Structure 1
Amino acid sequence: MSFTSITHTCQYNEEDGSIRMYLRGRPVVLHGPSDQDTLDPAKVAPPPQNKLKLEWVYGYRGKDCRNNLYLLPTGEVVYFVAAVVVLFNVDEQCQRHYTGHTDDVKCITVHPNKLVIASGQCAGHDRVDARPHIRVWNSVSLATLAVIGAGHIEQAVACLTFSRADGGSLLACVDDGPDHIITVWEWQRPDKGHCLAETKCSVDTVVAAEFHPLDRNQIVTCGKGHIAFWTLDASNVLYKRMGIFESRDKPKYVTCLGFNHTGDVISGDSNGNLIVWGRGTNTVAKFVRGVHSGSVFSVCARKDGAVVTGGGKDGRVVLFDSDLNPTATETVIEGHYGGVRVIAEGRGSQLYIGTTKNCILQGDVELGFSPAVLGHVDEVWALAAHPSLPQFVSAGWDSLLQLWDGLSHSTVWSKDIEERAQCSAWSSDGSVIAVGCLSGKWLVFSPESRQLLAQHVDGTEPIQTIEYSPDNKLVAIGSRDNFIYIYQVDDECTRYSRLGKCLGHSSFITHVDWSQDSQYLRSNSGDYELLYWNATTCRQVPSASAMRDVQWASNNCPITFTTVGVWPESADGTDINSCARSHDSRLVATGDDFGKVKLFAYPVTQPKSLCHQYGGHSSHVTRVRFLADDTRLLSAGGNDTALMQWLLD
């Protein structure tokens, strides 16, 4: 009996208890254990009883997005990372999540009633809801109120702003297409929002758009080489007046906008200057030169009339009075947090600062700032859970190694390891953390002291996977150079001596598992091979069927007999980046190229196996791992730089 589909055919051989699976036309023979019941490949395995619930999102997107941090009356700050909008109460250390988006959220804005939020996304992977669009939703109930602009918006939503003078009946949007079209919507209309006005905004990049707080019909936009003042007339046509600069003062970019207490527009620019534009005019009323060295990335007008500015390059936060006179009060953000991307007013004199290195800080200008959210700032590939504690490490191409506590949702420590990281592992006793790097180096650190205990180099290609044996006496290093290097581990995981390397794969190593008795390894490669090895001799075990009854300590390899069903029918072999079995051997989770985390009942021996599927990531999910007690699953989102923690219900 065989189960056939376009590119993924599975045939079960009753005589030898094996499944022949095809990935991209290449046959892979997988041998089941000798006590395996006869399989019917046409039968469909049910999904697991357990489900996942998004519990915590680690990270923030400040690297390349603006105006994306606000304080709500609930005491929560709202911001986004990946495809999730996060509502985080810093004082109570609890998060809620709006998960209506299907791909990268690029901008948010808060309605004047401080209850409704609009968020805009780019085009997605999904066939359904894949078009860029705006979602308007209630920040208390998290219910979606309107979905606007699908089919109207090109590429992504770049800027959003609610009208303020009329109580927020209008929503303006600038898209990220070549003409940066500006549209104005009556978003509460039952016909999915009515587009009142639409026109080309600028051929150059637009970075901010704001309705005037005192005039319903005025919108200000700014970006590369321009600031524009728009009027929406009675016949719903948008008219534009360009801001007039003195030729010597025209900046390369107008980088941010704000409004003072009298309704004048304040702009910050790439020359570090502030300009006040008289209300209702397109001419300069006041020019404040050299406030920052480098760009002014944020202008925040506080309720008391004072104005706070933030520098992207110099990291300075500067306080002015309501007439933009300097008060001599300022502070500097520590360089490792990045420059200032956005400043949001908190309660009293408190401010929240989003940084260019994907951190959120809280504090005030006089007392300084401390981190509320820390994140990665480049692709995240390494993720490993502690063998017994609710802790995990992550590392990525930003050279940051971070230790996290999964219960307090906090960073225990963060260390610059000066190497771009690709994979990581804990020793079986939790005494050390090993990190594999893009350069072919691998490093061993103490989680207590953060000290570097050992470093080795194997080849010049990236180290793709690293795994300690269950007895902690050996470590396997899988490289992109097609080899697995085996080291003997001595002196409490501080001394390593190379036993040899496993030769036999014809493509790069992707995943490795140890047998429970630490005698054998199995490995997957980029060309969908499953090979077996004697760990101490580094020799390949030629007979795969001889390994059918070996008990494996993990199931990181997605191409195995017990994970046949994790492969979708149209899989091309590279879709699944990561696979993890729960410690109680009841579940398997996978992370794929489409931003999805999937949960299956283990073993997944039926070629047709149903699963629960979860969005949230907006990039390839590079790693999934269960915490030691199986109460939670962790996932890393590659390009979206986010780590997500899922509660098992």
Structure 2
Amino acid sequence: MSFTPITHTCQYNEEDGSMRMFLRGRPVVLYAPSDHDNLDPGKVAPPPQNKLKLEWVYGYRGKDCRSNLYLLPTGEIVYFVAAVVVLFNVEEQCQRHYTGHTDDVKCIAVHPNKLVIASGQCAGHDRLDARPHVRVWNSVSLATLAVIGAGHMERAVACVTFSRADGGALLACVDDGPDHTISVWEWQRDKHCLAETKCSVDTVVAAEFHPLERNQIVTCGKSHIAFWTLDSSNVLYKRMGVFETRDKPKYVTCLGFNHNGDVISGDSNGNIIVWGRGTNTIQKLVRGVHEGAVFSLCSLKEGGVVTAGGKDGRLVLFDAELNATGMENVIEGHYGGVRVVAEGKGRQLFVGTTRNCILHGDLELGFVPAVLGHVDEVWGLAAHPSLPQFVSAGWDRLLQLWDGLSHSTVWSKDIEERAHCAAWSGDGSVIAVGCANGRWLVYDPHSRDLMAAHQDGTEPIQTIQYSPDNQFVAIGSRDNFIYVYQSDGNGTKYSRIGKCLGHSSYITHLDWSEDSQYLRSNSGDYELLFWNATTCRQVTSPTSLRDAAWATNNCPITFNTVGIWPENADGTDINSCTRSHDERLAATGDDFGKVKLFAYPVTQPKSLCQAYGGHSSHVTCVRFLPDDTRLLSAGGNDAALLQWLVD
């Protein structure tokens, strides 16, 4: 055989039109369609003419981040999820996005002029541009004004705050490293670090410049509250808050300031403490305001204070002297506890929750969701076959139906199982969800009723696909088998016709042929196998199916997707692959938070692409909406769903 080396990972054999691709040293032989022209070994395939533009971000990071929701004068709320800072006008239902970050955003702060934003990120994938740092940017133009602290921080920027008494000339940030270093920067002029010192051996959860006192900073966290002064020689001095004989809390969880300039703190005991202005001593203690920790304090323009509980979900209004007014409300438990409260227009409040939701409303009339999200890794993502809708399913046991045009949640359902994959039937009449315990469930998208439930092994269901004629459903399991069921046509009754045996590792991806006769599958050890779907027998001669037309290209290891694999690729690098319905584009989601767009078919081993950031962890799934105008991507650890406009 005369193999022509194209890259060090691929060889092409002109005689039989086969490509030998090596993944982690394992050869995979892929056969070109019989009418495919011979490949030119030196040719580099150009990127597609189309580009992606981030249109919408579904989700919010409230489960483990604080002080991350603010209202801007533009009427937009600003918050973050994954590596994106979102500016969302709830009334007008439009979003803008700051996408300068390369990894998880962990904190934000708003400048006193309400125009400039600072956002801090964590360390990324060992790249120079992914070191922890703070980006300062204009919230109207979205232009980056300064990049602060790259090379100074260790793990992540835990807290960031602008000075307020001097018009916002300084920026302070706390590193999430072992010493929790606090640093103060002149961010506008020479981006110079004025002062830096160890903040605390314990976790720091909040840092705020004093609104009335120049060069005064307050920090709090595990077992402490600290009052800092930046003196004229740029040295930071610390005074610890003195709890005297009173119960010292495990955590001081949040900070605020009243109109007199006193510091207000909430703690893990459910207490609120007022610290006299300029002192480190307790002026007033209000016990047992909340059951469990006080997660947020919001000082209102008119002088009152709203406190919020993470465990009890209560919002309680106090007057300026911290006397209870009797006005309160409770956030429904399925939204999670309250993580942060931000003042809106008039009496309106915005509430971020521990289950990654943002609600808006007021204490009198109650609250409705503005943003819903997933709380854990999202692996299931499936677009409706004909409507601009899609479902997502995650390890948080949530199945959610979304509308891609109105960007709204149609419904959200707790399915009581960790979900790993999802699929629509060919006519859109049912949704199938594969779960982590070997169960797969079928739901009616209108009534949300469970229509069918089946169990195949005890390992996770990795992928599930309906045949184009809607007569069959194939289930790929982590137990190395593909289970094939016949459907009654309306998706409510299923009978198993067999299982495909032959893979030596877990099933990762499946495709049906357009005539619903054949399956192809990829596995964890980088195999591409073919199957007769009705007999569940392996087709041992791949050349016999080289001209088969496939309804989808979800398998990343195929001849038409050779070029999606970078040189030195580990077979686990690419988690998801999809082809547009017009067969002009292919998209991938990888382990490095990137969504990539290729011209399809991607048969040249050297193929250029358009690459896009936004996710901050592995991208678990990518899918086109049925009209190909939009691409959807799901994040793993970032639990975010991004919707991209295909230009």
TM-score (structure 1 length as normaliser): 0.99
1:460 is matched with 458
Letter in 2 for 1:282: N
Letter in 2 for 1:117: I
1:15 is matched with 15
2:139 is matched with 139
- State whether structure 2 residue 450 is matched by structure 1 residue 448: no
What is the aligned counterpart of 1:353 among 351, 354, 370?
351
2:47 is matched with 47
Q: Give the C-alpha shift of residue 217 in structure 1.
A: 1.2
2:282 is matched with 284
Q: Give the C-alpha shift of residue 324 in structure 1.
A: 0.2
C-alpha separation between the residues in 1 aligned to 2:261 and 2:133? 31
- State whether structure 2 residue 400 is matched by structure 1 residue 398: no
Partners of 2:4 and 2:13 within 8 A in 1: no
Partners of 2:471 and 2:489 within 8 A in 1: no
C-alpha separation between the residues in 2 aligned to 1:189 and 1:2? 57
Gaps of 5+ in 2: none
Per-residue Cα deviation, 1:31-83 (whole angstroms, up to 9, x for no partner): 00000000123210000010000000000000000000000000000000000
Aligned residue for 1:331, secondary structure, equals strand
Report matched runs for 1:215-230 at 5 Å: 215-230=213-228
Q: Give the C-alpha shift of residue 143 in structure 1.
A: 0.2
C-alpha separation between the residues in 1 aligned to 2:142 and 2:5? 42
Partners of 1:404 and 1:413 within 8 A in 2: yes
Letter in 2 for 1:631: T
Per-residue Cα deviation, 1:369-424 (whole angstroms, up to 9, x for no partner): 10000000000000000000000000100000000000000000000000000000
Letter in 1 for 2:138: N
Report matched runs for 1:104-503 at 5 Å: 104-125=104-125, 127-190=127-190, 193-490=191-488, 492-503=490-501
What is the aligned counterpart of 1:524 among 522, 525, 533?
522
C-alpha separation between the residues in 1 aligned to 2:277 and 2:511? 67
What is the RMSD of the two structures over their aligned residues, measured on CA atoms? 0.8
What is the aligned counterpart of 2:623 among 625, 628, 631?
625
Partners of 1:243 and 1:283 within 8 A in 2: yes
What is the aligned counterpart of 2:577 among 554, 576, 579?
579
C-alpha separation between the residues in 1 aligned to 2:125 and 2:202? 27
C-alpha separation between the residues in 2 aligned to 1:131 and 1:266? 34
C-alpha separation between the residues in 1 aligned to 2:440 and 2:217? 53
Partners of 1:259 and 1:265 within 8 A in 2: yes
Partners of 1:387 and 1:426 within 8 A in 2: yes
C-alpha separation between the residues in 1 aligned to 2:284 and 2:26? 70
C-alpha separation between the residues in 2 aligned to 1:379 and 1:247? 44
Q: Give the C-alpha shift of residue 125 in structure 1.
A: 1.7
Q: Give the C-alpha shift of residue 128 in structure 1.
A: 3.5
Aligned residue for 2:563, secondary structure, equals helix
Aligned residue for 2:315, secondary structure, equals strand
C-alpha separation between the residues in 2 aligned to 1:360 and 1:201? 31
C-alpha separation between the residues in 1 aligned to 2:75 and 2:525? 51
C-alpha separation between the residues in 2 aligned to 1:211 and 1:434? 51
- Identical-pair percentage: 83
Letter in 2 for 1:411: T
C-alpha separation between the residues in 1 aligned to 2:247 and 2:312? 20
C-alpha separation between the residues in 1 aligned to 2:387 and 2:130? 39
Per-residue Cα deviation, 1:616-647 (whole angstroms, up to 9, x for no partner): 00010000000000000000011100000000
Per-residue Cα deviation, 1:161-216 (whole angstroms, up to 9, x for no partner): 000000000000000000000000000123xx100010000000000000000012
Partners of 1:423 and 1:464 within 8 A in 2: yes
2:34 is matched with 34
Q: Give the C-alpha shift of residue 247 in structure 1.
A: 3.6
Partners of 1:102 and 1:126 within 8 A in 2: no
Superposed structure 1 runs of 4+ greater than 4 Å apart: none
1:515 is matched with 513
Aligned residue for 2:129, secondary structure, equals coil
Q: Give the C-alpha shift of residue 126 in structure 1.
A: 5.8
Q: Give the C-alpha shift of residue 127 in structure 1.
A: 2.0
Aligned residue for 1:608, secondary structure, equals coil
Letter in 1 for 2:544: A
Per-residue Cα deviation, 1:286-333 (whole angstroms, up to 9, x for no partner): 000000000000000000001000000000000000000000000000
Partners of 1:41 and 1:608 within 8 A in 2: no
Partners of 2:62 and 2:353 within 8 A in 1: yes
Partners of 2:470 and 2:489 within 8 A in 1: no
2:540 is matched with 542
C-alpha separation between the residues in 1 aligned to 2:599 and 2:41? 16
CA shift in 2, pair 1:106/1:330, >3 Å: same
1:100 is matched with 100
Letter in 2 for 1:463: I
Per-residue Cα deviation, 1:434-490 (whole angstroms, up to 9, x for no partner): 000001000000000000000000000000000000000000000000000000000
Aligned residue for 2:234, secondary structure, equals coil
1:62 is matched with 62
Letter in 2 for 1:384: A
C-alpha separation between the residues in 2 aligned to 1:339 and 1:2? 61
C-alpha separation between the residues in 2 aligned to 1:178 and 1:603? 49
1:557 is matched with 555
C-alpha separation between the residues in 2 aligned to 1:555 and 1:106? 36
2:632 is matched with 634
Partners of 2:439 and 2:455 within 8 A in 1: yes
Q: Give the C-alpha shift of residue 270 in structure 1.
A: 0.2
C-alpha separation between the residues in 2 aligned to 1:403 and 1:347? 30
Per-residue Cα deviation, 1:479-517 (whole angstroms, up to 9, x for no partner): 000000000000511000000000000000000000000
Partners of 2:6 and 2:41 within 8 A in 1: no
Aligned residue for 2:543, secondary structure, equals helix
1:2 is matched with 4
Partners of 2:6 and 2:12 within 8 A in 1: no
Aligned residue for 2:130, secondary structure, equals coil
Aligned residue for 1:622, secondary structure, equals strand
Letter in 2 for 1:252: K
C-alpha separation between the residues in 2 aligned to 1:288 and 1:249? 12
Letter in 2 for 1:542: T
Partners of 2:9 and 2:568 within 8 A in 1: no
What is the aligned counterpart of 2:502 among 501, 504, 509?
504
Q: Give the C-alpha shift of residue 2 in structure 1.
A: 3.4
CA shift in 2, pair 1:491/1:533, >3 Å: closer
Partners of 1:10 and 1:41 within 8 A in 2: no
Per-residue Cα deviation, 1:255-282 (whole angstroms, up to 9, x for no partner): 0000001000000000000000000000
Aligned residue for 2:34, secondary structure, equals coil
C-alpha separation between the residues in 2 aligned to 1:3 and 1:539? 34
Corresponding pairs, count: 645
C-alpha separation between the residues in 1 aligned to 2:5 and 2:548? 27
Q: Give the C-alpha shift of residue 4 in structure 1.
A: 5.3
